Copies of this chain bind each other. A is one copy, B any other.
Amino acid sequence: MTASAEERPQTRVPLNPERVMRTAIEMADRDHIETVTMRNLARRLGVEAMSLYHHVENKSALLDGMVDLVIGEIIEEVAAVESPDPRDDWKAAMRERILAARRVLLRHPWAPQVIEQRSLMSPSIVLYFEGTLEIFRRGGFSNDLAHHALHALGSRALGFTQELFQPADAGDEEAAGEMLAEMAPKLPYLVGMLAEIAHDDPDSTLGWCDDQAEFEFGLDLLLNGLEQINRPQ
């Protein structure tokens, strides 16, 4: 792909940190995070690689900045959601907050991996968790329980879980299927489950399930459990 008409690098807009990071996000959204190299990013911006260092300290700071902008998008999305007063129904409020965050991350599939890898503590992520904590506290949680709750949710508070098995390419999927078939005699439970699950939903196998449904199942399990601890009856 040459420098194409979708961007307009011919207009010589001067570079600035935000434009550098936004372009890097676009690249990662369109392709993969691995394609975001200093050299590739520079070419996309019609500039030499070394020019980027005037706007971004280094590659590590670039990645942190990208994540920070995504968290910013999440904060906006969450703010736009109308959700119940946590004092009336903290569980519904939390659920909607988290599902809103998830919607943003689905637009940036590279972000979960980068967020987990870098475990950065930026102003925007701190603000996001302040908002999460506010819902728990106004819902009647003690500080101690709220603290445990944040840990128990983990990345789910931001709207994602990292799937342990993933599609990868079609070749991998086929290889996995062959391996399962070969090992079938040693895997009575797994084979049985997959057979039955496949009956209910032909597109499902162990690793390629409906993520949204599974995400919500796990989330509700945790929220219900927290509810019981918060208000035992």
Interface residues of A (CB under 8 A from B): 113, 115-117, 119, 121, 123, 126-127, 129-130, 133-134, 137, 143-144, 146-148, 150-152, 154-155, 157-158, 161-166, 168, 172, 176, 179-180, 183, 186-190, 192-193, 196-197, 200, 206-207, 209, 214, 217-218, 221-222, 224-226, 228
Contacts and interface: CB of A to CB of B under 8 A. Distances in A.
B121 A152 contact: no
Can you list the 3 inter-chain pairs with the closest CB atoms, starting with the nearest? A152-B218, A221-B225, A151-B214
B186 A152 contact: no
A96 to B, nearest CB: 19
Copies of this subunit: 2
Nearest to A115: B164
Contact of A209 (B130, B151, B168): B151
B119 A179 contact: no
Classify the secondary structure of A's interface with B. Answer: helix
Contact of A222 (B129, B134, B179, B221): B221
Contact of A218 (B154, B161, B179): B154
B152 A183 contact: no
Contacts of A166: 119
Given A190-B133, A196-B144, A117 B113 contact: yes
15 contacts: A121-B172, A121-B179, A126-B187, A126-B190, A127-B186, A127-B187, A130-B186, A133-B189, A134-B189, A143-B192, A148-B217, A151-B209, A154-B162, A221-B221, A221-B222
